[in-house]
């Protein structure tokens, strides 16, 4: 198995996810299996293939620097679970 329980806990923490002990074990197994499967690609000789920097073959999609209309303050805050003084309100964060 290529993935340890510590790996799972670490990634879960970065993604702000919480799992029980049993779930961590199960995920280490399952994600490990996925990674092992993907690992089969490493068996191929890719020395003659150009590295893929980006999956899209398109390039240089730009827009002109022209102002278009914005949402009003009310529209911007319409879906906010909480707001105050024209702002989105989130749980207190410290600097």
Partner 1 sequence: MEYEIVIGMEIHVELGTKTKIFCSCPTEFGQDENTHTCPVCLGMPGVLPVLNEKVVEYATRAGLALNCEIAHFSKMDRKNYFYPDLPKAYQTSQFDLPICTGGAVGIEVDGVKKDIGITRIHIEEDAGKLLHESADGTLLDVNRCGVPLIEIVTEPDLRSAEEARAFAEKVRNILEYTGVSDCKMEQGSMRFDVNLSIREKGTEVLGTRTEMKNLNSFRALIRAVQYESKRQIIELKKGREIIQETRKWDDTKGVSSSLRSKEEAHDYRYFPEPDLVPIVLEPSYIERIKSKLPELPEAKKKRYVEEYKLPEYDAGVLTTTGVTARFFEEAVALYNEPKQISNWMMVEIPPLLKENEQSMETITITPALLVELLKLVRDKVISGTSGKEVLKEMFVSGKNAGDIVKEQGLAQMSDTGELEAIIEKIVADNPKSVEDIGAGNEKAYGFLTGQVMKATKGKANAQVANEIIRAVVARHLA
Interface contacts to partner 1, rule CB under 8 A = 14, 16, 53-56, 58-68, 70-73, 76-77, 82, 84-95
Comparison of 44 and 94: residue with beta carbon closer to partner 1: 94
State in angstroms the smallest separation of the CB of 22 from partner 1: 25
Comparison of 29 and 82: residue with beta carbon closer to partner 1: 82
Comparison of 24 and 76: residue with beta carbon closer to partner 1: 76
Helix (H, G, I), strand (E, B) or coil at 26: helix
- Asked if residue 89 lies in contact with residue 80, where contact means CB atoms within 8 angstroms, the answer is yes
- Asked if residue 88 lies in contact with residue 73, where contact means CB atoms within 8 angstroms, the answer is no
State in angstroms the smallest separation of the CB of 84 from partner 1: 5
Distance CA 83, CA 77 (A): 7
State in angstroms the smallest separation of the CB of 23 from partner 1: 21
- Asked if residue 6 lies in contact with residue 26, where contact means CB atoms within 8 angstroms, the answer is no
């Amino acid at each position: 198995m290529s993935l340890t329980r510590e790996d799972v806990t670490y990634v879960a923490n970065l993604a702000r996810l919480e799992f029980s002990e049993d779930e961590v074990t199960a995920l280490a197994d399952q994600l490990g299996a996925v990674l092992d499967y993907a690992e089969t690609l490493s068996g191929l000789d890719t020395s003659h293939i150009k590295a893929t920097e980006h999956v899209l073959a398109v390039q240089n999609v730009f827009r002109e620097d022209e102002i278009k209309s914005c949402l009003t303050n009310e529209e911007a805050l319409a879906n906010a679970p909480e707001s105050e003084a024209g702002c989105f309100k989130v749980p207190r964060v410290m600097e």
